[in-house]
Amino acid sequence: MRKMGIAVAALATTGILLAGCSSNTPTTPAPSESSAAAIDASGVTLTVWTDENRKPAIAAAAKTFESETGGKIELVQKNFDDIRTDFTNQVPTGEGPDITIGAHDWLGGLVQAGVVSPLDLTDTASNFAPVSLDAFTYDGQLYALPYSLETIALIQNTDLVGEDAPATWDDMIAAGEKAGVERPVVINTAGQTGDAYTMYGFQTSFGAPVFQSDDKGYTTEVGMGGDAGKAFAEWLGANGEKGDGYISTTVDYDTNNELFASGKAAYTVQGPWAIAALTEKGVKVKVNPIPSAGGQTASPFVGVQGFYISSQSKNALVAQEFLTKYLATYDAQKALYEADPRIPAWNDLATEVSSDPVIAGFVASSKNGVPMPNIPEMGSVWDLWNAAQVQIIKGANPASTWDKMISDLEALIG
């Protein structure tokens, strides 16, 4: 089961995070480079929704904003799981915030609901990882300021298979079998539920994206049908319970982590949120990009978090100033990282924290990755997609099962 939205803070319990970046007390950002031309925001109060973890870092940037512009920032702490629904419901009534923190895969729904405004990030866009900007782009327009990334990667037991990254699935299996362990690789399928999120890197290596995309972002055209999708389905069946048995519906998230942590599996595919569980019994790990199964680059999903501006904000220009001049700085982005450690979207900061090899591995994987589709139709995909993969892993005919899933999905999307 995918674990999106879970912070990399779990890494701190294993001593993996950089010592200089492990403090939970964020530094106060230095005055922005544009402070000489700071706007006059006297009499303006911006309301910003955030969760408990990120609140101290935003407060630090707000302090600088207030001292330079004369404006005020009112921070409202909310449960992150409630923000999307509350924002969608309250903005049309005029009761919502000027700015909210949020995830990129909310974007299509927020645009359809008419509750967010585009953001102009021209001057600082080059400071951010391209995948983070793509994630917050809808119909060719950028809608949020990114600040963090999360993705999955290949994690290997270095005592069993060394640190070298296998280039292909077959290379990985061969190295795992040579190690003489119970399982060359263990992959979470969420048991009988299916986990297309974890399998997506392997699927994209066959050239079968969940949706097609163009220069404006994702379209609603299903992209995982045809020969490429069937090739992935055949591979999934060949490695499933009626084939070589490397992929099994008996493996859920906890089982996956226990098998790897106990040294019974040489490789797994997981996110940074699982590092503590994977290493709790002393296993030494190396994080590498996911190997290709179908000949093309394995591109896992990347999740991005950032800041949206309400379409009903009466102070939209001031809100944009706060985001682009006070949160889009190295110091503010570092403060956000220290408050809630995730892969930074700010390029220089990502390079800095990548001196830690585990974080560097996830950064490398994210560079191969693609944003999870931010279109509303993505919500219709998971049940059919997961179910088809489970059936194939258990031995159903790959081609016909996959074709039925595609036709059912296309009918559902309309």
| pTM of this structure | 0.85
pLDDT band at 403 (very low <50, low <70, confident <90, very high): very high
pLDDT tens sequence across 259-308: 999 999 999 999 999 999 999 999 999 999 999 999 999 999 999 999 99
Q: What's the pLDDT score for residue 33? A: 44
What is the pLDDT at residue 8? Answer: 37
Please give the full DSSP string across 41-103, using - where no structure is assigned: -TT-EEEEEE-TTTHHHHHHHHHHHHHHHS-EEEEEE--HHHHHHHHHHHGGGT-S-SEEEEE
pLDDT at residue 28, rounded to an integer: 39
Average pLDDT of the segment spanning 376-393 = 96
Domain 41-150+302-371: CATH architecture, name and number where available: 3-Layer(aba) Sandwich (3.40)
Query: Percent of the chain at pLDDT above 70?
Result: 91
Domain boundaries defined on the chain: 41-150+302-371, 151-301+377-413
Q: Average pLDDT, whole number, for the chain? A: 91
Percent of the chain scoring above 90 in pLDDT? 87
Question: What's the whole-number mean pLDDT along residues 233-240?
Answer: 98
Q: Is it true that 41-150+302-371 and 151-301+377-413 share their CATH fold?
A: yes
Residue 330, Cβ neighbours under 10 Å: how many? 17
Q: 151-301+377-413 in CATH: which number?
A: 3.40.190.10
Q: How far apart are CA 282 and CA 232, in angstroms?
A: 35
Over range 401-406, report the average pLDDT: 98
pLDDT band at 15 (very low <50, low <70, confident <90, very high): very low
Among 106, 145, 129, CA closest to 4: 106
E-state strands within 129-216: 137-138, 141-142, 144-151, 153-157, 183-186, 211-214
List of residues 6+ apart from 360 with CB closer than 8 A: 287, 354
Per-residue pLDDT, averaged over 327-342, amounts to 93
